[in-house]
Chains A and B, each alone.
Chain A
Amino acid sequence: MTTVPVRPPLVRSSDRLIAGVCAGLAAHLGWPVRMVRIGMVVAALAGGAGLVFYAWLWIMVPTADEAARRDARRPASPIAPAVSAPTEPSAAVGPSFSGGTYPHSYSPYAYPAGVDMNGGDTSAARPAASGMYDAGTSFQLPAAPAAPGSAVPGAAAPQAGAWFRVQRVRYGKEILLGSGLLLVAGILIARQLGAEVPLGTLIPAAAILGGAAIAWMQLDETRRAGVVNKTKADQAGGWARLAAGLALVVAGVLVMVSGSGSWEQTGLALLASVAVLGGVALVLLPWGLKFWRDLETERAGRVRETERAEIAAHLHDSVLQTLALIQRRAGNEHDVVRLARAQERELRGWLFKDPAKDAGQLSDRIKSAAAEVEDGLGNAVDVVSVGDTAMTDRHEALVQASREAMLNASRHGGGPVSVYVEVSDGGVDVFVKDRGSGFDLQSVPEDRLGVRESIIGRMKRHGGTAEINSSADGTEVRLKLPAAVAENGEGKS
C-alpha cells in the first residue's frame, strides 16, 4: 500500500459542512480535508471562483449514497448465488467468476454500501465512506485511509484531524451561523465608521444565495430519501425548507429589482410578479403535465428494462454457463445428466418461486437435502410433498435422518429415488423408496452406523420411529414423527 494505483471515486462525502464537496474532493485527491476547505474559501474570496467551482461540483458530483446505490446495482451480485449447486457446477463455474478475475473489485464496493445504508450519518461510518478502498484499515484509523500515499506527516496528524472533524461537524451549523453574524456585525461596524457599504444590493444578494443554498440542500435530502427511507414528518420539513428557500430568493429578487426598499413599491412588484408567475404557470401547465407523464412512462419502461436485464443476467449466469459446461463434457453421460438436473432444479426454483410462501419450511429443507444427494451421487431424487410445517429441532433431526436414508437409497439402490413427505395434524411421515436389490437389516454389521445410528437411533431419540422394509424389489425407509410428542418434547427442552 505504498502507492495508490486507483483513486477513490469522486463522491460527495456524508461528512459535510454544506454539501460534502470539500470532504469528497479531499478523499479523492488524498489531501487533508482542512486544506481543501481553506483553499476553497481562499478561492471564493478571489473573485468568487471558489464559489462557482463549489456550486459546479455540488451539481455534478453524486453523493456517496448515490454512488454506492449505483454500484450495488451492478450485475456483480447475482453471479455468485446464481449457480446454486454446491458441488460440480459451482466448483467449475465458480472460480472463473467469483474467485478468479475480479474478486477484490466487488467486495470494497459492497462494504461502503452496507455501511452507508445503516448509519450514513453517524460519525463512525464516515471514515469508511471517505476511504472506499480501505475497508479494512479505515475502521481502526479514521482519518488515515484518505492519504496512504500522500503528504500526511505522522501518526499524530490523523489523530488531530479526526478530533477536529468530530468537533467541527458537531458544531458545523453553529459555526456557519456565527461567521454569518460576524460578517453582518463587521458590515454594520464598517458603516458606523463611515465606510460605504452597498447594503441595498448586499442584503438581497445574500438572501438569494441563502435561499438557493437551502433549496439545493433540499435536493440532496430528496436524493438521499431513496436510501434512508424518510418518514412523512421529514418530508413535511423538506417542504417547509423548500418554501423558505423560495420565499428568501423571491424576496431577495424583489428587493433587488425594486431597488428602493419602499414597502408600497415592493408590494406592487410582488403583485405584478405573482401575476406573471401565475400566467406563466397557466400556460406551461399542460406542457408540464405532459412532460411529467412522459417521465413516468419512461420510468416504468426503465423498471421493465431493469427486470429484463435481471432475467438476462440470471439466465446468463446459470443456464448459459451450464449449457457451455454440458457441451464440454458431452462425452460423460453421468456429468451431463447431473448438470442438467441441477440446472433444471435451479431454474424451476427461480421461475416458480412463490413469494408468499415462507422459506425454510420442512418441505423446502427436505427438497434441498434431496438436491444435495442428487448432486453428490448423480441419481435422481424426486420429492413429493403434501402439507408443510415450520421447522423445529425435531424436524431438523427428521431432515437429517431423511437425508441419510436418501443417501443410502441413492448409493445402494442405484436408480431414481422417490421421497414422499406428508405433514398432517398427527405428525410428519417421510417415505424414501428405491428400487435396488434390497438388503437385510439383520445382516448389516454392528459397526455400520449409517442405518442403525443416523436413521433409527436419531428418530428414536426425538420421539419418532423408523421402519425399514426391504425386499428384492427395493427398499423403503418409513420415518414417522408424531406431533403429540412434539409438544412434550418442546415443553421439556
Chain B
Amino acid sequence: MSTRALDGTAGAQQETVRVVIVDDHAIFRSGLKADLDPRVTVVGEAGTVDQAIEVIARTRPDVVLLDVHLPGGLGGGGREVIAGCAALLGTTKFLALSVSDAAEDVVAVIRAGARGYVTKTISGAEITDAVFRVAGGDAVFSPRLAGFVLDAFGTAPADVADDELDKLSARELEVMRLIARGYSYKEVAKELFISIKTVETHVSAVLRKLQLSSRHELTKWAAERRLL
C-alpha cells in the first residue's frame, strides 16, 4: 500500500514539525522514528489511550501519528484518543496510521476528526510528506481511502454543486477518482488543468463531507462493509 498522492510541494517550506507517535508496538514506534525525516521532531510517544491523551495534552504537538487500534481507555482505540483531545483539534492535527485497511476502521477514525489515513506499509519519505501535508492543514487521501469515499457516497454527482453534504460534486468525484487511480495531487492538477491548491481544496472539502455528513447510510455502509 502506498500513498503516492502525497509527493509534491506541500509543507516543503516549513522548517520543523513536532510529532507524537501513538502506537502500542514499541518496535514499530522506534522503526518509524528512524524512518522519519530529520525535519520531523518526535516530542513524545505513547502506547495506550490514556497515555496518549496525557502526552498529547502535555506536549501539544503539531501532528499526532495515531494507530487506529490501541489498548486501554474504554476500548475505542484511536477514535477515543481524538475524542479525548477534542479541545486541541484546532492546533493539533491527527494522521491515522494502521495495518488494517478495513472500511469501518478508516471511516470511524476520519469521522472522529483525523485529517488523513495511511497504512503502515508506506515508506518513511511518504509518511514524512503526509505529516507535512497534514500539518499544513491539508487532508491526506490514499488511493484506498478515495475508493472508500467513492463507494460510500456513490459515483453519481450531486445535482446542485452547493453545500450538499451527502453527495460529492462532479469535480470532487473527478479528483477522488484520480486519487483512487494512483495519481498524486500534482498529477491530478495537471490532468484536470487546475492548480494544486485547488486540488487540495477539493480534497479538504471531501474530508469535511466525510466527517460531517449525517447521512446514515455512511455509518451503515462502513459497518456492513467489513472487507476493504
Contact = CB atoms under 8 A, between A and B. Distances in A.
Interface of A: 348, 352-354, 357, 380, 382, 384-387, 416, 418, 420, 422, 424, 431, 433, 435, 473, 476
B144 interface: yes
A384 B5 CA distance: 14
A387 B156 CA distance: 12
Given A352-B102, A386-B180, A387-B155, A420 B187 contact: no
Query: In terms of DSSP, what is the predominant structure of the interface of chain B?
Result: loop
B220 interface: no
A473 B150 CA distance: 25
Interface string B212-228: 00000000000001111
B116 interface: no
Interface residues of B, number: 22
A433 B177 CA distance: 13
A266 to B, nearest CB: 67
5 contacts: A382-B1, A382-B143, A384-B180, A418-B4, A424-B156
A418 B143 contact: yes
A354 B2 contact: no
Interface of B: 1-2, 4, 102, 143-144, 146-147, 150-151, 155-156, 177, 180-183, 187, 225-228
A420 B182 contact: yes
Nearest to A425: B156
Given A384-B146, A416-B2, A433-B182, A352 B228 contact: yes
A61 to B, nearest CB: 46
A308 B184 CA distance: 44
A420 B227 contact: no
A418 B181 contact: yes
A387 B148 CA distance: 10
A385 B146 CA distance: 10
A382 B119 CA distance: 12
Given A380-B1, A382-B144, 6 more contacts: A348-B228, A382-B143, A384-B144, A422-B177, A424-B155, A433-B181
Q: Which 10 A-B pairs have the closest CB atoms?
A: A418-B182, A384-B147, A420-B181, A354-B227, A431-B181, A433-B182, A386-B150, A386-B151, A420-B180, A384-B180
Contacts of A473: 187
Nearest to B145: A384
A354 B228 CA distance: 10
A422 B155 contact: yes
Contacts of A435: 4
Contacts of A385: 147
A424 to B, nearest CB: 5
A352 B180 contact: no
Contacts of B4: 416, 418, 435
